[in-house]
Structures are given as C-alpha cells and as structure tokens.
C-alpha cells in the first residue's frame, strides 16, 4: 500500500469513542477522560490536523480538555488483510498543553471501514468512528 492510499483512508472527521491508557502492557486499561469522553479528530486533505478531547462525566485523573492543531504526514503504510495500517506523524503548531509542542509525535494507526484506532494497542489506544 502506498503512503497516498493510506492518507486517503485517514482523511476525514472522526468522533472519539474511547480514550484508554495503561502503565504497562499487562496492566488494566484506564480512562483518563472518563468513561464517555467527547472528542473530534480531523485530518483535512490540505494536510491540516485538528484534535480536541474533553471529559464528559468528570475527569477521574484531573484531565478535562486537551486540544491542538498542526499538520500531519503518513510516514509508514501497509495493508493487513483489508485493514489500512501505518504510522501518522502529527506536527503540532499550537495546543492547550505546552508539552504537545516539544516534538512531533508518531502515532500508529489502523483504519477498517468507519473505524480508526490510534495507538500501539499495548499501552495506549484511541478508538474513533468516521462522521
């Protein structure tokens, strides 16, 4: 699969379904934005990216709202039995947290139909549904 093909699969607006982290691959998943987070990720054809995540039912860990915008670039792409997978790099230009500006973040991703999963699947995962 080419980088352009993977990019086309990623383009669009995505609604957050779940936001989960854990300390290590054997630990329990936790929800830093609560059980029903609200969020939106937009990958625009121009290469612009916008991310917003907000706690819905009260943040158990103190996180309430995170947002950033910038640009994105697909740096790895493959087809795994009909699932588009790869790595997208987010170049953050501005955001609600200073540490978001420290370095470009590589994010593993998988797109299957209207479902996008960002994360390594071992210690973090963000599940989104295409709008």
CATH of 3-130, one of 2.40.128, 2.60.40, 3.30.950, 1.10.10: 2.40.128
Entry pTM: 0.90
pLDDT tens-digit readout, 38-58: 999 999 999 999 999 999 865
**79 SS3 class:** strand
- CA 78, CA 92: separation in Å to the nearest integer? 24
Tell me the domain boundaries of the chain: 3-130
How would you class 126 by CB atoms within 10 Å of its CB: exposed for 0-12, middle for 13-18, buried for 19 or more? buried
With contact defined as beta carbons under 8 Å apart, do 72 and 88 qualify? yes
pLDDT tens-digit readout, 14-45: 999 999 999 999 999 999 888 899 999 999 99
């Amino acid at each position: 699969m080419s980088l352009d093909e993977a990019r086309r699969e990623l383009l669009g607006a995505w609604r957050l379904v779940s936001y989960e982290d854990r300390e290590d691959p054997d630990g329990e998943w936790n929800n830093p934005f609560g059980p029903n987070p609200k969020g939106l990720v937009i990958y625009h054809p121009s290469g612009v990216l916008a991310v917003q995540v907000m706690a819905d039912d009260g943040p158990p860990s103190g996180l309430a709202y995170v947002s950033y915008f910038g640009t994105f670039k697909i740096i790895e792409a493959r087809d795994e039995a009909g699932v588009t997978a790869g790595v997208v790099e987010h170049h953050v230009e501005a955001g609600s947290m200073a540490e978001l500006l420290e370095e470009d973040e590589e994010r593993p991703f998988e797109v299957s139909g209207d479902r996008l999963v960002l994360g390594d699947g071992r210690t973090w995962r963000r599940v989104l549904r295409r709008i």
